[in-house]
């Protein structure tokens, strides 16, 4: 599903540049539940942005769903994001003047789905995350955990190939963290590829595979032994 070969990325800083990703190789298969771990500055967010087509890379190759990503202009990137990727952010990133239902329906709007159909599908996904009765609430009327559930419903609504979650539990307490992770696990069980970025060990431990990043290189890549965590 996601294949990365010798990926390099630098950011210009003043006159020099900061080399953030130093030749990453990573292969994530369909249906995997992967956590990328690392301290801040390890390059994990940069990796997610590149995988999420929110940012470009310098050298190396990136295949998304078998398609080589190169020379993407903004428009193509937007279409691919809309089609293949669902995003969950640490700060939820819901549009504050839209109700939960409208937030979930927004990606469908950009797919050109009609209003009635959008609302029907969005309601279905809100139901899936257990927030059907909150459909008409504004984000400001929802708790943190509820907001993240809405964001997850929004990430799923286009039925993407991969869900990318950037510190999805970073702003949540431990009880809510657990329920959000349960939701992500459930989605993964249904066959969705889920890609989580976190710096919390117990969050990473809920996934199937942990990739550890340090200073722009992968230092370990191991399957999680479920029995140990059980």
Partner 1 sequence: MFDLDRWQEIFQTIGKNKLRTILAGFTIAFAILLFTLLFGIGNGLKHSFEKRFSNDAANSVYIRSGITTKPYKGLQSGRKIQFRNDDSKFINEKFEDEVQFFSPNVERYNVQAIYVGEHNNYTVRGVYPDYQPLESAEIKDGRFLSYLDLKRKAKVVAIGRLVEKDLFGNKNALGKNISLDGISYKVVGVFTDPGGDRDERFIYTPFSTAQGMYRINDELDQIGLTYNPSLKVDQAIAFSNLLQKMLKEKHNIDPRDQAAIRIQNYAEDAKNVQQLMFGLNIIILFIGIGTLIAGIIGISNIMVYIVKERTKEIGIRKALGATPGSIIGMIMMESIFITASAGYVGLLLGVFALKGIASTVEEYGILNPSVETYVVVGATIILIIAGTIAGYIPAKRAASIKPIVALNDE
Footprint of partner 1 (CB under 8 A): 49, 52, 54-55, 74-75, 78-79, 81-83, 87, 89, 93-95, 97-98, 102, 106-107, 109-111, 114-115, 154, 158
Phi then psi dihedrals of residue 68, to 5 deg? -75, 125
The answer to whether 119 touches 105, Cβ cutoff 8 Å, is yes
Given the complex with partner 1, which of 149 and 154 has the nearer CB atom? 154
- Closest to partner 1 by CB, 117 or 202: 117
- Closer residue to partner 1, CB minimum distance, 102 or 206: 102
Least separation in angstroms between residue 127's CB and partner 1 is 20
Q: Which is nearer to partner 1, 4 or 108 (CB)?
A: 108
Tell me the two tokens of residue 206: 């809920």
């Amino acid at each position: 599903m996601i294949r990365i070969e010798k990926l390099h990325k630098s950011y210009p800083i003043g006159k020099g540049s900061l080399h953030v990703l130093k030749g990453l190789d990573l292969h994530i298969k369909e249906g995997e539940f992967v956590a990328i771990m690392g301290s801040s500055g390890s390059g994990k967010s940069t990796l997610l942005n590149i995988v999420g087509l929110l940012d470009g890379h310098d050298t190396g190759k990136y295949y998304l769903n078998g398609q080589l990503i190169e020379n993407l202009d903004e428009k193509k990137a937007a279409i691919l994001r809309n089609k293949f990727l669902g995003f969950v952010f640490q700060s939820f990133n819901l549009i504050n003047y839209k109700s939960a239902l409208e937030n979930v329906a927004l990606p469908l709007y950009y797919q050109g789905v009609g209003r009635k159909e959008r609302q029907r599908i969005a309601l279905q996904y809100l139901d899936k995350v257990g927030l059907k009765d909150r459909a008409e609430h504004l984000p400001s009327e929802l708790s943190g955990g509820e907001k993240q559930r809405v964001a997850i419903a929004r990430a799923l609504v286009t039925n993407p190939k991969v869900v990318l979650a950037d510190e999805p539990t970073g702003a949540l307490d431990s009880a809510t963290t657990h329920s959000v992770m349960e939701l992500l696990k459930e989605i993964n069980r249904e066959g969705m590829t889920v890609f989580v970025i976190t710096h919390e060990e117990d969050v990473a431990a809920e996934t199937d595979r942990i990739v550890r990043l340090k200073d722009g290189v992968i230092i370990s890549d191991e399957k999680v032994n479920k029995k140990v965590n059980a």
